[in-house]
Amino acid sequence: MSQQAKRRADLLLTNGTILTLSPGAELISSGALAITGGRIAALGTKANVEKFYAAEKTIDARGALIMPGLVNGHNHAAMTCYRGMADDLPLMEWLTRYIFPAESKSDENQIYWSTLLACAEMIRSGTTTFGDMYLFEEQVAQATRQAGMRAVVGEVLYNFPSPNYGPPENGLKYTEQLINRWQGDPLIQIAIEPHALYTCSPFLLRQCRDMADRYGVPLVIHLAETRSELEEVSMKYGQTPVKYMENLGLLSSSLIACHCVWLTEEEMDLLARRGVKVVHNPESNMKLASGVAPVPELLARGVTVGLGTDGCASNNNLDLFQEMDSAAKLHKVHRLDPTVMPAEVVLEMATLGGAKVLGLDKEIGSLEVGKKADVIILDLNRPHLQPIYNLASHLVYSATGADVRDVIIDGHLVMQDRKLLTIDEETVINKIQEIKEKIWQRVSP
Ligand SMILES: [Zn+2]
């Protein structure tokens, strides 16, 4: 075929090893991937793809791995501004002495810049999509859009006043405005996000369910996270958290339940039957001493499970490579069984599993022709990644976010050779230092 007859691609990634992570697909060595109009137009061997495609811009991925961007299923991105502010404290002291006073006076400026800091950290560590629950989500959405990242975001709803929307009854109105304002956006989707059973009344929870049904959007909640939640809900409503959700009519395939640490066998069956999606946050569960979620048991029942970092204050980073390592090892030591949670399973949770949780698996989560081009390139020519027997093993147990070299989201290059193209890091870091001073005044004695 002559040069003239070749199809034009916006971007061509070539010479790399391609791990598509689409079910049943083989590893492609010396591969190429063509991107047109934000989507994957072709992928295969370099010879096959370059025969048909010529590109405006080419990235040489020699010695590197081309794979899907990671999906962080549960985050509170703007909590990056509290990173390291208070650690190693009992949960209630941590919340009431530091986090709540700091959050009560947060504002649009703080949330915008803290989210941009989170996006910089996530892009640098290979995350291309995240689920978010926090305050001032309009600013979260705007910062995420500026960064060029993909996200499912929702305003946190509860039965006490919010520093953003004021009295509780305004929360759903604010959420409805978000849904209308961001409708049709290529990167941002809105979810309805009641905080938890111990902060939301049954009336508010039913309202949330009705609005999620009306708009066909996901419902996100923290569920069965701690033993104290289990005790409080059992005492107040005479039922365990999952049973209580069932009786309120909230267990469905549109529900994204974060944590799910304290579950009985019967409740796991119920979650599977209702098609509830679960996000596992192992590092947050370890750091806050919440417990160990029964993830192998949920997966065995066919429950869709994604991986999340949770907020930065309970982690304290947003690197999903580290989270994968923790997820695999936590369950092995907890069960004294090195065969549980193998690398391939954990890697799927951080990619296609997370995409399924967020309802985006038709568009992202694996590299397939026609899907959105959310792609990361990792440098494999590094001492801690050699030699290579098994790539999934390396990605879970050896790699870190710092190995990510280039990041493409929705077909756009957002990091090249570790330089961020959508975020001015120096400005973000300066703004965050100013914000930190204000926060410290709120919480210091
Ligand atoms: Zn959370």
Q: Tens of pLDDT along 137-184? A: 999 999 999 999 999 999 999 999 999 999 999 999 999 999 999 999
pLDDT digits (tens, 9 = 90+) for 212-248: 999 999 999 999 999 999 999 999 999 999 999 999 9
Give me the pLDDT at residue 90, please: 84
* pLDDT-derived band at 292, boundaries 50, 70, 90: very high
d(CA 26, CA 175): 43
d(CA 168, CA 347): 39
54 CA → ligand 1 middle, Å: 44
* pLDDT-derived band at 85, boundaries 50, 70, 90: very high
Predicted TM-score of the model (pTM): 0.97
75 CA → ligand 1 middle, Å: 6
189 CA → ligand 1 middle, Å: 18
Query: Which tokens belong to 193?
Result: 């996000």
303 CA → ligand 1 middle, Å: 20
413 CA → ligand 1 middle, Å: 29
How many C-beta atoms lie closer than 10 Å to residue 397's C-beta?
A: 15
119 CA → ligand 1 middle, Å: 17
97 CA → ligand 1 middle, Å: 18
Give me the pLDDT at residue 4, please: 58
**What average pLDDT score do residues 200-216 get?**
98
279 CA → ligand 1 middle, Å: 10
311 CA → ligand 1 middle, Å: 6
308 CA → ligand 1 middle, Å: 9
d(CA 423, CA 437): 22
76 CA → ligand 1 middle, Å: 6
284 CA → ligand 1 middle, Å: 8
440 CA → ligand 1 middle, Å: 22
74 CA → ligand 1 middle, Å: 6
Write the CB contacts of 374 (distance below 8 Å, at least 6 apart in sequence): 68, 69, 128, 129, 150, 364, 408, 409, 410
136 CA → ligand 1 middle, Å: 16
| Averaged pLDDT score across all residues of the chain | 96
258 CA → ligand 1 middle, Å: 7
